[in-house]
Structure 1
Amino acid sequence: MKVLKFHGSSLGDLRAFSHAARREAGYQLDRVQNGLAPNDWKPMPTIGIGVQEIRIRDEAGAFRVIYVAKFANAVHVRHCFQKKTQKTSAADLDLASKRYANLARELGR
């Protein structure tokens, strides 16, 4: 099982999700840690190679967890946020992209 590594404010942001969304995010991240795909996800190649987004919806709204699991040692959670509009905001995409670039530099890739 891979370990979870949260980057930047992603852990605090995840903790700000509604209770139901937080539980669902934990369940989906556990699936990823164990080599399984989340139940509802999509690739995010505009952020980086291997980046994926877990999509969560509950009565409080739509929530997203952007992560990378392609590295052997860990699942790297790049960004967690609640969506306010139909389209993911440029600010959320930019932040996830910057965190991905920082990770690539840290890992020497």
Structure 2
Amino acid sequence: MSARKPLLWVGSSKKDLKQFPADVQDVFGHALDLAQSGKKHPDAKPLKGFGGAGILELIEDFNTNTYRAAYTVRFGSAIYVLHCFQKKSTSGIRTAQCDIDLIRMRLQAAQDHAKGSGND
């Protein structure tokens, strides 16, 4: 049994998640809990545009709204929650560019943090 990895929240991701309906928080919380134990939630899928499975996305529909959380398992020392948001776009399933940009920016911050922590 491997040790649980710490969960690190980048930017406002934790505050944003706390705004979600309780049911959505429960699903995302469970998925992140699994990630900390080295497992993958069945609904966690690689986020497109990030080359491979380093960034995972959770999608949960609730009361006609769609909620998403993006996190990375790419850095061995911790699970970094990059972004939690309510999907606003009505045009298909694509993630809005502004959200992709924010995830990319926070991924860089997580990468810098992981490098600086010295235990990776």
Deviations 1:31-57 (A, max 9, x none): 111111112122125246611111212
Indicate the residue corresponding to 1:71 in structure 2. 75
In structure 2, C-alpha distance between the alignment counterparts of 1:8 and 1:47, rounded to whole Å: 19
Indicate the residue corresponding to 2:55 in structure 1. 51
Deviations 1:42-82 (A, max 9, x none): 21252466111112122252111100112222100000001
Which segment is superposed worse, 83-92 or 8-17?
A: 83-92
The sequence identity of aligned pairs, in percent, is 32
**The structure with more strand, counted as a fraction of residues:** 1
Indicate the residue corresponding to 1:14 in structure 2. 17
- Residue 108 of structure 1, CA deviation: 3.3
**Alignment root-mean-square deviation, CA:** 1.9
Q: Residue 88 of structure 1 aligns to which amino acid in structure 2?
A: T
Is the CA contact (8 Å cut-off) linking 1:13 and 1:81 kept in structure 2?
yes
TM-score normalised per structure 1:
0.88
Aligned length: 109
In structure 2, C-alpha distance between the alignment counterparts of 1:6 and 1:89, rounded to whole Å: 21
Alignment of 1:1-109 (within 5 A): 1-44=4-47, 46-47=49-50, 50-85=54-89, 86=92, 87-108=94-115
Larger Rg: 2
In structure 2, C-alpha distance between the alignment counterparts of 1:65 and 1:38, rounded to whole Å: 13
Runs ≥4 residues deviating over 4 A:
none
Unaligned runs of 5+ in 1: none
In structure 2, C-alpha distance between the alignment counterparts of 1:105 and 1:4, rounded to whole Å: 16
Unaligned runs of 5+ in 2: none
